[in-house]
Each structure stands twice: as structure tokens, then as C-alpha cells.
Amino acid sequence: MVQPVHITGVGGYLPERILTNAELASLVDTTDDWIVERTGIRERHIIAGNQHTSDLAVEAARQALDDAGLKPSDLDALVVATTTPDMIFPSTAAVVQSKLGASGFPVWDIQAVCSGFVYGLAQITGMMEAGMFRRVLLVGAESMSRILNWKDRTTCVLFGDGAGAVVLECMDGEGGIMGSVLNADGSYRPLLMAKHPHPGASPDMPDMRIDAAGIAAIEMRGNEVFRTAVNKLGEVVGQVLEHCHTEVSDVDWLIPHQANIRIINATAKKLKLGTERVAITVDKHANTSSASVPLALNTYYREGKVKEGQLILLEAFGAGFVWGANLLRWTKG
């Protein structure tokens, strides 16, 4: 008999450095009012010069493991969702495993940009339900500040750094991860990219590109991304609710990707879901890509807002485009 997959531990980590809108206004042609009105963001956390994405991930992972009452050696697998890895290879997950002082189980990265955590949760749940693993640590971790053009006010104001993590365990009992729906359409990729000429490109191949942390910069056509995100998120949320034979009125918390308050509000309106049931952390965290959903979950969990038996809906949309949603019954206790 297949045991349900439950979240048994939650963790998060934000770098100490806080960059306010007022400080940004001294770097680029913008104002606090302009940023807040268009994004809902008031501040964001920025990784320290001596930190790596793996360091953020380790801190969140340790908190999640402590919350679950587990040690790294108790794990059967470790997965890191990130689009800003420490290096091209090895995987950031391998680095995190080593920094946790663990070994003896598989690790890998997931690259689905802002949808990385949602994709990872769906993937791992399926593997656990198939009997491959019983305990898995999933981390979303990003250093988005390192792939920003700090002269482009349309993108540099949007992003921040951080990490969120959950421990997943197969356990008897009601609830747990109920279902997921994922989707993608690569034809939209020109609307949101991180690209830059390769510094070592041959003169004979001037169009060579590489997308990697440290030598890339985000480019975005915001209005088109906004319209597509709202439509696709509305669709995928409806699909996961239908898949799980659930009505939107039954949802206690929508924990969305924290990209932009206008996207969050427009999605909630499209679903006819009151804003009092929507988790909002974008004002303090900005867009932390794959870390945003687990960071928001961790924030609301630690504030006591996520309670036993509640129905939780997670959703995210990212470059590619890729998007997805997960539905779960909170049974951590």
C-alpha cells in the first residue's frame, strides 16, 4: 500500500544584508513609490560576497531537518532547485550534501527557474509514492542578485536572494501531498531570459551564448510576462483542483510564487479567492525565484498561520515558460 507523502519539516534562510528601495534609488533611476506601486516590493535580501547559493541552501536545510527531528544521515535523497548554482558542475545539491557532512544517498539539482520548487515537489512525491525513497530533503535556493544588470531598473528592483526547504516523508495517515500539475511552453522563452555573450567566445562564433550564474544578466518583457503568467497560473490551479476533486472555496491558503504583487492579486481575483487567504512575502523578500514558495511557506508556518488540517495550494510560474501547482493537506501537527 502506498503511504502518503507529508511535509514533516520546514526551514528558510535569508542573507543578513537588506537592500531597501531607497538604497536602490541611489543606484538606478527609480523611487520607492515607483517600485511599490508596480511590484509591491519594499526591500530584498542580498547574499554576502563570501557566500554561495549552497550556503543559503545549507542554512535552510538545517532548519528544516531540525524541525523534522532528523539528521542529514536519515535522508534517502537531497534535491536542490536552483537557477543560480555555485558552479556549472558539480550540482549544488552535491555541495550541500558535503557541507551538511552527509553521504551515501543520491543528490541532484532541478532547473525550472521560478517553478523549480513546485516541479521538485511533484517529481519527488511521484518517486516516493513509487517506493524509491522514504525521506527526502527538497531545497529551493537562489542568488538572483548575481545575475542582475544593476543599471536596468525594470529588472534589478524585482529580485532578492534566499533559500527555503522542506523535509518530505512517507507516513500513514490522512492528508499530505494530494496532487500536482506541471506544464511548459518553450516558445515563450524570448520574453524572459538570462543570457550574455560568452567571454571566451570565438570571433568566428560571435552569437555563442551561455546561461550560467556569474556571467549572465536577466532580460524581461514585463507586460507580456504578466499577461501570460496570470492566464497560465489560473489554468494550472484549476487543473490541480479538478485533479484532486476539490473546489477553490475549500482552499485555506494559496501560497504563490512571490514575483510581483500585481500578478499575485490578479491570479487571486481570477480564482475568486479572497486576498485574506493568499500568502504575501514579496514586500520583504522580493522575487527569490525557486526559493520564493518555500520561503513563504516557512514564514506563514512559523507565524502560526498554517495550521493542522488546512488545504494548501502552491503555484509558480517561471522563465521557459514553465509553470505548475501542488495541492496538499497540512498534517504536520
The amino acid present at 311, given as its one-letter code, is: L
Q: Based on the domain organization, do 312 and 183 belong to the same domain?
A: yes
For 140-162, write each residue's pLDDT tens digit. 999 999 988 888 888 999 999 99
In a domain, 83, yes or no: yes
Q: Based on the domain organization, do 126 and 181 belong to the same domain?
A: no
More confident residue, 324 or 172: 324
Q: Using 50, 70 and 90 to split pLDDT, how confident is the model at 3? A: confident
* Boundary (domain end) residue, out of 143, 174, 205: 174
Q: Are 117 and 138 in contact (CB under 8 A)?
A: yes
In a domain, 212, yes or no: no
- What's the CATH code of the domain at 93? 3.40.47.10
In a domain, 234, yes or no: yes
**DSSP string covering 207-255, please?**
T-B---TTS-EEEE-HHHHHHHHHHHHHHHHHHHHHHTT--GGG-SEEE
Q: What is the pLDDT of residue 333?
A: 54
* Boundary (domain end) residue, out of 116, 148, 174: 174
For 262-279, write each residue's pLDDT tens digit. 999 999 998 888 989 999
Q: What is the pLDDT of residue 46?
A: 96
Q: Based on the domain organization, do 320 and 249 belong to the same domain?
A: yes
In a domain, 194, yes or no: no
Q: Are 80 and 141 in contact (CB under 8 A)?
A: yes
Q: Based on the domain organization, do 170 and 182 belong to the same domain?
A: no
In a domain, 207, yes or no: no
Q: Based on the domain organization, do 253 and 240 belong to the same domain?
A: yes
The percent of residues in the chain predicted with pLDDT above 90, rounded, is: 80
More confident residue, 224 or 204: 224
Q: Are 131 and 88 in contact (CB under 8 A)?
A: no
Q: Based on the domain organization, do 138 and 170 belong to the same domain?
A: yes
In a domain, 199, yes or no: no
For 90-134, write each residue's pLDDT tens digit. 999 999 999 999 999 999 999 999 999 999 999 999 999 999 999
Picking from 259, 260, 240, 261, the residue whose alpha carbon sits closest to that of residue 250 is 240
How far apart CA 34 and CA 90 sit, in angstroms, is: 40
Q: What is the pLDDT of residue 152?
A: 87
In a domain, 110, yes or no: yes
Q: Based on the domain organization, do 147 and 246 belong to the same domain?
A: no
Picking from 87, 75, 55, the residue whose alpha carbon sits closest to that of residue 214 is 87
Q: Based on the domain organization, do 253 and 142 belong to the same domain?
A: no
In a domain, 143, yes or no: yes
The amino acid present at 29, given as its one-letter code, is: D
Spell out the residues 6+ positions from residue 311 whose beta carbon is closer than 8 angstroms to its own.
Answer: 246, 250, 251, 252, 253, 327, 328, 329, 330
For 22-61, write each residue's pLDDT tens digit. 999 988 889 999 999 999 999 999 999 999 999 999 999 9
> Which residues are 143's β-sheet partners?
161
Q: Based on the domain organization, do 182 and 112 belong to the same domain?
A: no
Mean per-residue pLDDT, 10-33 = 94
Q: What is the pLDDT of residue 332?
A: 77
Q: Based on the domain organization, do 150 and 184 belong to the same domain?
A: no
For 293-314, write each residue's pLDDT tens digit. 999 999 999 999 999 999 999 9
How far apart CA 66 and CA 60 sit, in angstroms, is: 10
Q: Based on the domain organization, do 240 and 251 belong to the same domain?
A: yes
Burial (CB count within 10 angstroms: exposed 0-12, middle 13-18, buried 19+), residue 275: exposed
Structural domains of the chain, count = 2
For 72-85, write each residue's pLDDT tens digit. 999 999 999 999 99
Q: Based on the domain organization, do 169 and 181 belong to the same domain?
A: no
Q: Using 50, 70 and 90 to split pLDDT, how confident is the model at 215? A: low
Mean per-residue pLDDT, 3-10 = 95
Please identify every residue annotated as catalytic: 114, 257, 287
Q: What is the pLDDT of residue 285?
A: 98
For 159-174, write each residue's pLDDT tens digit. 999 999 999 999 988 8
Q: What is the span of the domain harbouring residue 253? A: 177-188+221-329
Please state whether the peptide bond connecting residue 321 to the residue before it is cis, i.e. omega within 30 degrees of 0: yes
> Which residues are 197's β-sheet partners?
209
